Amino acid sequence: MTDDCSLADRECVPCRGDIPPLSATEADALLTDLGGGWAINAEGHLERLFTFKNFAAAMAFANGVGDEAELAGHHPDLYVAWGKCRIEIWTHKISGLAEADFILAAKASRIYDAPA
């Protein structure tokens, strides 16, 4: 990730459908800034698998990401199972990626990296 004043510090403003999806070049540049295990999957969505020591820790993380997403009005898909949570993010209104997706991903990474 870049410095501490990076994607995770930006405000996540969800897209209302009035902007085009990011180009592959733009998305790749933001993915590089994001770092930390995130990838763009075959559907063109941001995705990362986070691992935990048990189900409760995975749920606590999912709830933290859910709280952050609700504050931003930007809602990822969360898949929780014992010891893991997979997050998939994209902007539904534009059927692609927007900067807000990368900001939310950075905030999720920050939640994961925060001391318990």
Helix axes 99-113, 55-72, angle to 10 degrees: 140
Spatial strand order of the sheet with 39-40 comes to 39-40, 46-51, 84-89, 77-81
This prediction has a pTM of 0.87
Task: Give yes or no for residue 1 having a pLDDT over 70.
Answer: no
116 or 92: which leads in pLDDT:
92
d(CA 96, CA 49): 20
* Sole residue written with tokens 């085009």: 20
- Compute the average pLDDT of residues 5-18: 61
Burial class (CB in 10 A: 0-12, 13-18, 19+), 84: middle
CATH numbers and ranges of domains, the chain: 44-116 (3.30.1360.20)
**Do 79 and 68 contact (CB within 8 A), yes or no?**
no
- C-beta of residue 104 within 8 angstroms of C-beta of residue 74: yes
Instruction: List, for residues 22-44, the tens digit of each pLDDT value.
Output: 999 999 999 999 988 999 999 99
